[in-house]
Amino acid sequence: MQEIAPRITVDPDVRFGKPVIRGTRVPVDLVVGKLAGGMTQEQVAEEYGITKEDVLAALAYAARTLSEDQVRAIS
């Protein structure tokens, strides 16, 4: 297991190496997707047995990852 951001880890044996909340099998993309779908931070935390801080860490990781992406328009 490797911590790649605060509260976020990857492990080839957990969820095929996808980033998850440390100490769980809850993927970061699931947390972000649930928030995008309208759930509150509190609802996501309760539903998946994580803390509000874990939810915020997932958002921070997603934001940082997106800021590193490059989008190229093709016409």
The 10s digit of each residue's pLDDT in 15-60 is 999 999 999 999 999 999 999 999 999 999 999 999 999 999 999 9
Confidence band of 69 (pLDDT split at 50, 70, 90)? confident
Domain ranges of the chain: 2-68
- What is the distance between the alpha carbons of residues 73 and 67, in angstroms, rounded to a whole number? 17
Q: In what order do the strands lie in the sheet with 20-21?
A: 2-5, 8-10, 20-21
Question: How high is the pLDDT of residue 18?
Answer: 96
Q: How far is CA 39 from the centre of its chain?
A: 15
- What is the distance between the alpha carbons of residues 73 and 33, in angstroms, rounded to a whole number? 25
Architecture of domain 2-68: Orthogonal Bundle (1.10)
Beta bridge partners of 8: 5, 21
- Res 70 pLDDT > 80: no
> Taking each helix axis from N to C terminus, what angle separates 41-48 and 28-36, rounded to the nearest 10 degrees?
140
Confidence band of 75 (pLDDT split at 50, 70, 90)? confident
